């Protein structure tokens, strides 16, 4: 459990900024994550998620503002790292050590490890700890880092896109681990691209765009971003409008040919299915857009490489 008083946020950033020459990677970011929360940190490529995490870890020095872990300034790494465990986006391990030796080394320098739980996690993640790290795939290296982090009782777990190399079965295990950590009272700060992952485990979410926190929302608010893209192919041309105009939840209705139409759907599918039942439908494709695409729709496409400093 945190040594600090419960009122102290697990993570607090105030007017945090990081500039790399002309690129503003993190721009005046203020955020407080209370102890015990599972906080999702979402943003498109280049939004500044990893930079923020490196500032939290004291791996970078802020250009402005500051960040604290349970009230300890991030630059006081000796004290701050007693409160946290971390999984980086690109896990690097010592190639000549076996997985088990890597786990032991990480446990020796970390904030304390529950060895019985670690053994259980090695099994659950189907990790072969006797192989040398140089033979591990990206996903296996990620598993070592995840097992090492989840086996600690660090009050704060900082996870930077930790499931990018995991298959769906392992991703399910990851979600269980987050839930178990939260049940123990650990705080989880999870950077992710995956809306489904964030929905499954986070209670609150911050959305980062061009280094700026554009939104901090509860999950129910985030759900409004969800929508499906529907493509319909007909056997024969339908009458104008085809009874789809004004159907609940349907937007962006487009005929791409006399026999094909696309639309987006927010909310329950029943009204549109009723409308489609009157048509001679030969193919129906329902696709859920990626988080990236949702970001583009909601926040525009000027996200490429961080904000430029205006001269």
Residues found near ligand ATP in the complex (CB under 6 A): 20, 23, 25, 43, 45-51, 89, 305-306
Minimum distance from residue 90 beta carbon to ligand ATP (Å): 9
Report the residue closest to ligand ATP, judged by CB. Answer: 306
Tokens of 138: 């990206």
What residues form DSSP beta bridges with 257? Answer: 260
Q: Quick one: how far is CA 49 from the chain centroid?
A: 9
Distances (CA, A) of 226 to 143, 249, 311: 30, 11, 38
Pick the closer one to ligand ATP by CB: 229 or 292.
Answer: 292
Pick the closer one to ligand ATP by CB: 60 or 122.
Answer: 60
Bridge-based pairing of strands 204-209 and 212-218 is antiparallel
* Region class of 209: left (phi > 0), else alpha (psi between -120 and 50), else beta: beta
Q: Is the distance from CB of 223 to CB of 195 less than 8 angstroms? A: no
Pick the closer one to ligand ATP by CB: 117 or 295.
Answer: 295
As a whole number of angstroms, the distance between CA 129 and CA 91 comes to 16
As a whole number of angstroms, the distance between CA 142 and CA 89 comes to 8
Pick the closer one to ligand ATP by CB: 155 or 211.
Answer: 211
Minimum distance from residue 59 beta carbon to ligand ATP (Å): 10
Q: Is the distance from CB of 84 to CB of 157 less than 8 angstroms? A: yes
Minimum distance from residue 55 beta carbon to ligand ATP (Å): 9
Minimum distance from residue 289 beta carbon to ligand ATP (Å): 17
Minimum distance from residue 43 beta carbon to ligand ATP (Å): 5
Q: Is the distance from CB of 165 to CB of 138 less than 8 angstroms? A: yes
As a whole number of angstroms, the distance between CA 256 and CA 265 comes to 17
Pick the closer one to ligand ATP by CB: 100 or 212.
Answer: 212
Minimum distance from residue 210 beta carbon to ligand ATP (Å): 8
Minimum distance from residue 205 beta carbon to ligand ATP (Å): 14
Residue with tokens 């906080």: 39
Q: Quick one: how far is CA 150 from the chain centroid?
A: 17
Residue with tokens 């203020």: 30
Pick the closer one to ligand ATP by CB: 6 or 64.
Answer: 64
Pick the closer one to ligand ATP by CB: 63 or 233.
Answer: 63
Q: Is the distance from CB of 19 to CB of 6 less than 8 angstroms? A: no
Pick the closer one to ligand ATP by CB: 101 or 292.
Answer: 292
Tokens of 247: 């159907």
Minimum distance from residue 265 beta carbon to ligand ATP (Å): 28
Nearest Cα to Cα of residue 196 among 213, 174, 229: 174
């Amino acid at each position: 459990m945190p040594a600090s008083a419960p009122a102290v946020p697990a993570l607090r950033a105030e007017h945090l900024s990081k500039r790399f020459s002309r690129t503003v990677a993190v721009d005046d970011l203020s955020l407080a994550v209370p102890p015990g929360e599972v906080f999702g940190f979402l943003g498109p490529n280049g939004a500044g998620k990893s930079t923020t995490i490196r500032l939290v870890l004291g791996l970078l020095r802020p250009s402005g503002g500051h960040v604290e872990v349970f009230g300890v300034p991030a630059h006081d790494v000796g004290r701050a790292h007693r409160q946290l465990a971390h999984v980086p986006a690109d896990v690097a391990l010592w190639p000549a050590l076996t997985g088990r030796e890597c786990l032991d080394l990480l446990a020796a320098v970390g904030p304390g490890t529950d060895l019985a739980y670690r053994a259980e996690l090695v099994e659950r993640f189907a990790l072969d700890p006797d192989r040398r790290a140089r033979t591990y795939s990206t996903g296996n290296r990620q598993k070592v880092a995840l097992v090492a982090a989840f086996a600690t009782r660090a009050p704060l777990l900082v996870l930077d896109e930790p499931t990018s190399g995991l298959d769906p079965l392992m991703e399910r295990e990851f979600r269980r681990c987050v839930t178990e950590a939260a049940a123990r009272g650990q705080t989880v700060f999870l950077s992710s691209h995956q809306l489904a992952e964030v929905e499954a485990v986070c209670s609150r979410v911050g959305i980062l765009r061009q280094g700026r926190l554009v939104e901090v929302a509860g999950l129910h608010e985030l759900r409004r971003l969800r929508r499906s893209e529907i493509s319909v192919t007909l056997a024969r041309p339908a009458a104008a409008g085809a009874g789809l105009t004004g159907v609940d939840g349907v937007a962006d209705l487009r005929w791409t040919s006399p026999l094909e139409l696309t639309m987006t759907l927010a909310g329950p599918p029943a009204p549109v299915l009723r409308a489609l039942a009157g048509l001679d439908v030969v193919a129906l494709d329902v696709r859920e857009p990626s988080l990236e695409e949702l970001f583009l729709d909601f926040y525009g496409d000027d996200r490429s490489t961080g904000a430029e400093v205006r001269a």
